[in-house]
Structure 1
């Protein structure tokens, strides 16, 4: 049995220390011998192995504090032999051989062997370490007693440290010769499972090997072998054993075949079902409301995935700074195990705001006040105000989680705005009440009723009022990794909203829109991202002149096609004011490059158009291009974009537009 894989500490248990914490005065350079350290014999492709050896080397770490004699350097080298042996075994090389030599460094940097023999072979009967040796993870003392070294230099080393022409000691070269030998491979993985009523010993199945991330024939490195034991615990927990524990891991080496056999042992304890739920730490939030987030039914078999899901859902409520969900106590006589939910509540109220500016939309500002636990059961109320040169308004949003069903929420919103754009002027009021619920992983839906009032004057519409009632159905998909700065994943949304007029002149139409975006990270860190988006929509049932101005499609500006003025892409009247349309198409592409930790550049191209008909005959697009700059903050990137219209229209479009805001464009 090889101890290199028999401890969870692995090589991490070695002392990389810096002595006992006592400061040491710099030694006189004329009483110490500077030296260099070299590693030879290792394949250049073994980069991780070389890095690990250098990391544990005492001689490397104390190179800036040279010893007073060759004997002191030899002690450091002997200490490294044991450390290196542990590293080799942790990387699957169980037959590794390590020797070293100390030579003087000549003027042309060529080392000269001293006395014709490797220094590592003198006065050391234990330098040769074989595959049967045990490395227990305990390092020898790696700080050097300088007084002892000076004595060794005077007596054991004949007082001759070597000097160059100016009286300073001649530098030394410590060279480790490392023969890794052939790597050992995993030959078998067996399980010993001790249940309350039986003991089962068998080979791991292919599915279990996949879960433990081990393969027959892979190199027998320590880390995956150690982690495989924890994965084995997870497998048994998934089978309904909440109290399972690993007992003994045995790793046997076959030196003839160069293979490793692994045997994991587990005690499962009794199988259990979920029992009573206790909530601790709740003060303002109702305990029954918290317990209602449990993702299991009463009496259901224990599952760690259900526990993780409950913790994740509670953490996403933004009500708590900390959430811990765990089993508590032994399995009862009824076969049930109690569960504890421990929470630390956060502040329930917050205020905030922001500003933005663009040459197309003008300056803008917003502010909000939010309460996330209005009646004690996670009800969220958010009141907001927005103001810009184009629009001023008030808004209110309410959300009650766990409405009638788990994960289902009651949502309501209301908005009152005054509009003053080139397309229309006047007031609008709208409201919505519905339910929101997830539909599997990363999918959600919203369905409800809406009522709207508008009193607008548009370019081709009379000054009249509209009273509308309708339905709103939204299907969303979002698996991106960050809401403000996504680097991977996809977003998709389809919105279907039929409306009917409530006044004498019936206005009946249906608006359908689809939008989506895709994010592809070129590198592992997400510093270079390709991003693309698209939007299309159509209105069925009424001609453009019979539609309320605010229900038509518009395009152009910071949220659609940068480089063109707000709402100016599409049909225009004789005064170059937007008329809107019954269909729209938009495309956008960005390359997001994070040049430093704080700054990035984003070249982009966007195009689109608005059409008078619901099914346009000629799909022609107006294109724009630009360059953006990003300053990355803790809450998201600060955005500054400059764009120019590539299809500039005479007396309509400006030469350029720029935009300042928080978050990516999409």
Structure 2
């Protein structure tokens, strides 16, 4: 465009009288051709530029590579711009020096070469880092009288005399020290002095640092806002702190998580008003957005154990605005029916502790037994953490069973204790974790029961990640009964059976156990079962393959029992509401071993 401006000016000049017009036109033509030549000279016959770095490795190499990232626009329309390339080349030594200094190298030697490779241009950068700068002295001091944890962290500061100067370690240690101070309530913590004095000639460095924690802050008054319609006392049980405690952002985060874990709020905003703190007491404002307190959730599914099933669950998490919870649930399946009601009275001291009142009806019609019972139960649940829970319970139950053709009617008054611990990194598709549960329960005629027994039950599950998107599932189950009555007096719900989708695959649901004289499975006093499963998941896919080995049985004597065994494989498809499982298992050591298909599908809303 500039050429056309010049040409226009010359044209105007030509209109003037005088002999210079032709000469001006000739000069303009030469200038136009010259600019075209220069324009062509700016483009090199290469379609790609690659930078090769030699002489450094590891973290140093990564930092240099980041510093020598090619600028956008260096290659346009498949050709390398010469002017941009020269500008980039001139800046390479300075960029490399800057990238090496955080690792203590202040006097490197740098050589840049152009190496054409057909249509590609290679820029080889050879680096000799030189002798690194080493720390010869440091003076670290902390103002005031802070907690021992802060002093210990200062004493653990890296870069002791004799070590190579590393700016990244220096900055990380400073950030960690300040972060710890903030975690301990020192919100105004700062470095009043933080300097590194480098002597390039002697290749030495001295560190001097003064850390001032400042005053310590504490939690002040807590204000709860939002149209939540929950009692104030009920809401405050979710707080992970009390007024007067040392201020902590971690406790604010835990408080927010507590509100979300209650499944009662769709939004929780916590605002610590640090700028309004008086006498170093920080007022806290919590704005709550409640979710719908009443939920109705239907579901359908199919399992080889239960057959096709339909479920319906109703929940009210704020009964008459008291914070109490009411739950109604029902299941209708081919071989099982259930109806349950649960009412929860929350503890105002601990959000994970409560008293639960339960009642319901259940029936099962299986090949091995038929049973129907009504029950009522009161539970005192102690929530020690998100993952640990203990329960004391008292259960009243009236049961009518038919096992092996014999009718049994039982009245049970059964106290017990239960402990459970669970930790998985994802509730839907975990990659690691465990779940263990133990229970002790018993009953006696002195309590008004028809039977006398004491039972111990235990279950454990482990999920262990292995290389190549492979996972190891380990499952174990063990139960035992100490009883004075004959096994024929024990109802079906207190006898042990095994077999099915979640125990020993290859066998029907609850078809393994001691038999009577006619060969009917009648259940046993003890139970042992275990499983090893290897699962291979496919990257960027919801599909997985599994291979497994199951073993287990129910029996009456630890000196005379046989464990049934089966092995097989299956397919998994992970959905947002849980996995769909299809397994095929073959019995082992049976006179006429057979294959059995196991399917588990569940969809809920």
Q: TM-score range by the shorter chain?
A: 0.7 to 0.9
Shift of 1:326: 5.2
Q: Which residue of 2 aligns with 1:606?
A: 550
Question: How far apart in 1 are the matches of 2:60 and 2:532?
Answer: 42
1:163 aligns with none
Which residue number in structure 2 is paired with residue 549 of structure 1? 492
Stretches of structure 1 that go unaligned for 5 or more consecutive residues are 1-26, 108-169
**Aligned ranges for residues 107-122 of structure 1 at < 5 Å?**
none
238, 247, 267: which one pairs with 1:293? 238
2:352 aligned with 1:339: no
One of 359, 365, 368 as aligned partner of 1:414 = 359
Q: 2:310 and 2:40 mapped to 1: Cα distance?
A: 66
Name 2:45's counterpart in structure 1.
Answer: 33
Deviation of the 1:442 alpha carbon: 3.6
Q: Which residue of the partner structure matches residue 493 of structure 1? A: 437
Among candidates 585, 588, 608, match of residue 528 of structure 2: 585
1:341-390 deviation digits (Å, cap 9, x = unpaired): 34443344444344443445433333323333334454443322222221
Where 1:479 maps in the other structure, the secondary structure is strand
Q: Is the 8 A contact 2:473 2:534 kept in 1?
A: yes
- Report 1:72-151 matches (<5 A): 72-90=84-102, 93-105=105-117
Aligned residue runs from structure 1 range 306-317, under 5 A: 306-317=251-262
Match of 1:328 among 255, 273, 290: 273
- Partners of 2:99 and 2:506 lie apart in 1 by 59
Preserved CA contact (<8 Å) 2:572 2:579:
yes
Q: Which blocks of at least 5 consecutive residues in structure 2 are unaligned?
A: 1-38
State the partner residue of 2:125: 176
Paired residues in the alignment total: 560
Structure 1 residues 403 and 222 mapped into 2: Cα distance closer, same or farther (>3 Å)? same
For 1:217 and 1:447, the matched residues in 2 are separated by 61
Larger Rg computed on CA atoms:
2
* Displacement of 1:584: 0.2
Paired residue secondary structure (1:560):
coil
Seen in structure 2, the aligned counterparts of structure 1 residues 223 and 395 have a Cα distance that, compared at 3 Å, is: farther
Alpha carbons of structure 1 residues 560 and 484: separation in structure 2 relative to 1, 3 Å: farther
Task: Give 1:181 shift.
Answer: 3.6
Residues 563 and 656, structure 1, Cα contact 8 Å, conserved in 2: yes
Query: 2:177 matched to 1:232?
Result: yes
Give the CA deviation at 1:455.
2.0
Name the SS of the counterpart of 1:372 in structure 2. Answer: strand
More strand by share: 2
Instruction: Measure how far apart 1:41 and its partner are.
Output: 1.8
Q: C-alpha deviations, 1:302-329, integer Å up to 9, x for none?
A: 3455444333322321223343445323
Q: CA deviation at 1:619?
A: 4.2
The correspondence for 2:378, drawn from 393, 416, 433, is: 433
- The root-mean-square deviation of aligned C-alpha atoms, in Å, is 3.7
Q: 1:527 aligns with which of 452, 469, 473?
A: 469
**Contact persistence 1:639–1:662 (CA under 8 A):** no
Aligned to 2:339: 394
SS of 1:271's equivalent?
coil
Is contact 2:571-2:582 (8 Å) kept?
yes
- Asked whether the 8 Å contact 1:326–1:341 carries over to 2, the reply is yes
Counterparts in 2 of 1:317-396, with a 5 A limit? 317-325=262-270, 327-329=272-274, 336-376=281-321, 378-396=323-341
C-alpha distance in 2 between matches for 1:217 and 1:634 = 55
Aligned partner (choices 573, 579, 582) of residue 640 of structure 1: 582
- Secondary structure (helix, strand or coil) at the match of 1:312 reads helix
Q: 1:550 to 1:69 in 2, by over 3 A?
A: closer
* Cross-structure match for 2:599: 659
Distance in 1 separating the partners of 2:138 and 2:66: 31
Change (3 A) 1:328 1:644: same
Aligned partners of 1:270, 1:587: CA distance in 2, in Å? 57
Give distance in 2, aligned partners of 1:183 and 1:574: 87
- Between the aligned partners of 2:416 and 2:165, the Cα distance in structure 1 is 58
CA-to-aligned-CA distance 1:22-58 (integer Å, 9 cap, x gap):
xxxxx99995532432323234x52x54445444534
Which residue of structure 1 lines up, in the alignment, with residue 410 of structure 2? 466
TM-score normalised by L of structure 1: 0.74
1:311·1:325 contact (CA, 8 Å) conserved in 2? yes
Instruction: Confirm or deny: 8 A CA contact 1:317 1:378 kept in the other structure.
Output: no
Greater helix fraction, Structure 1 or Structure 2: 2
